[in-house]
Amino acid sequence: MLNHKSIPISDIWIGKKEQHLLSECVKTGWLSSQGRFVGEFEQAFATYCGAQYGVATANGTSALHLALACLDIGPGDEVIVPTLSFIGTANPVTYVGATPVFVDSDNETWNLDPKAVARAITGKTRAIIVVHLYGHPAQMDEILAIAKKHRLYVIEDACEAHGAEYRGHKVGSLGTIGCFSFFGNKIITTGEGGMLVMDRLSLVEKARMLRDHGMSRNKKYWHSYIGFNYRMTNLQAALGVAQMDRIDQVIERKRRNARLYNSLLKEVPGITLPPEAPWARPVYWLYTILIDRKFKIPRARLMKDMARRGIDTRPVFYSISRLPPYRNGGHPRFPVADKISTQGLSLPSSPLLKAESIERVCDVIIKLGRNA
């Protein structure tokens, strides 16, 4: 249990506008999926990402599920997925009856390796899901070129990367469909919630129908498809509208905090700093380092020692292909992803962090390593 002086991994930044719009929403009585805030939030977030349309959903996983369903991906199809991600990237592929084909990461960005993507394509491949891991953009030019050559869809899982930029363009608007999460620890939050952003109106119309039980937009209670109940509430959207006012401020604070972390940890033996490619502007959703043997303390022990000092940390995700639902009786080798997974450690990353808290975190890490 963290004490009163603890430093959490993340915090929710809520201000007066959030409280005002939530109160306004309650007063109108429009709390569920109807009301003005849903459409307002969809348009504001899509515009921010550089896309024409937004479709709000219940969460990020449902956004990915809707994206696959809208593209008619199903049984017999294969979808290329990075093995290093949260399991919610792969599960929607299974939901639609398709097969996730896992690929390794690259050392530069920790995202899926374009060379591995090219090797994984078969006659059954229909799409590539690109994850912008921990807020750093993937190498989109190479991936989009591969997709164009093989006529594949590109779905961006940007759930951790709101506002991140690839060569001056915000992620989520670079592929066929971009998917986001607004869970409580994300760059901005609606508590739970998600969003698809895209430019093709036909996909938007299909997504809006499928998220509402497959019901016709023009004929009440007429269902042309087996859809889902993936709607966002007006109450959540009100929170999202208010959060849009501070999204750039949140990102700038996270980037400022990353710069301070980098300056304090760059000379520590056994620590690899998070990537920032020259063509990228990452948002450091979680500031994540790698701990290797030169640090002398194993990651698990470091996490326990930091927890005893009131500092919250997180390990990096397991490779999805090593988890029981996706192991399929084999143990494929993904050397880069496995290295990042076993060595990765996420440090406190709240936009509300003060410099003295970051200095305390780094001081504890350095002293623990030095005294091992």
CATH code for the domain of 269: 3.90.1150.10
Q: Is 27 found in the same domain as 58? A: yes
- The domain boundary, picked from 186, 220, 244, lies at 244
* Structural domain count of the chain: 2
In a domain, 21, yes or no: yes
Are 82 and 186 found together in one domain? Answer: yes
Do 164 and 303 belong together in one domain? no
Asked if 194 and 85 sit in the same domain, the reply is: yes
Q: In the prediction, which pLDDT does 26 show?
A: 87
pLDDT at 2: 43
Residue 10 lies in a domain: no
User: Is residue 133 one of the residues assigned to a domain?
Assistant: yes
- For residue 85, give the CATH number of its domain: 3.40.640.10
Within a domain: residue 9?
Answer: no
Do 240 and 254 belong to one domain? Answer: no
366 shares its domain with 287: yes
State whether 252 and 304 are in the same domain: yes
Domain membership flag for residue 33:
yes
Of 182, 214, 244, the residue at which a domain comes to its end is: 244
**Long-range CB pairs of 269-275, under 8 A, 24+ apart, other chains included:** 269/294, 269/295, 269/369, 270/294, 270/295, 270/296, 270/369, 271/295, 271/365, 272/343, 274/110, 274/134, 274/136, 275/108, 275/109, 275/110, 275/136
> Same domain for 30 and 160?
yes
Which regions in the chain score pLDDT beneath 70?
Answer: 1-4, 329-331
Q: What is the pLDDT of residues 175-209, one digit of tens each?
A: 999 999 999 999 999 999 999 999 999 999 999 99
The verdict on residue 6 lying in a domain is no
Residues 227 and 312 in one domain: no
Residue 1 lies in a domain: no
Do 222 and 79 sit in the same domain of this protein? Answer: yes
Same domain (yes/no): 263, 238: no
Residue range 29-38, pLDDT digits in tens: 777 778 889 9
Let me know if residue 3 belongs to a domain: no
Q: Which domain holds residue 123?
A: 16-104+111-244
Say yes or no: 152 and 276 in one domain.
Answer: no
Specify the pLDDT at position 329: 63
Residue at which a domain ends, from 244, 279, 294: 244
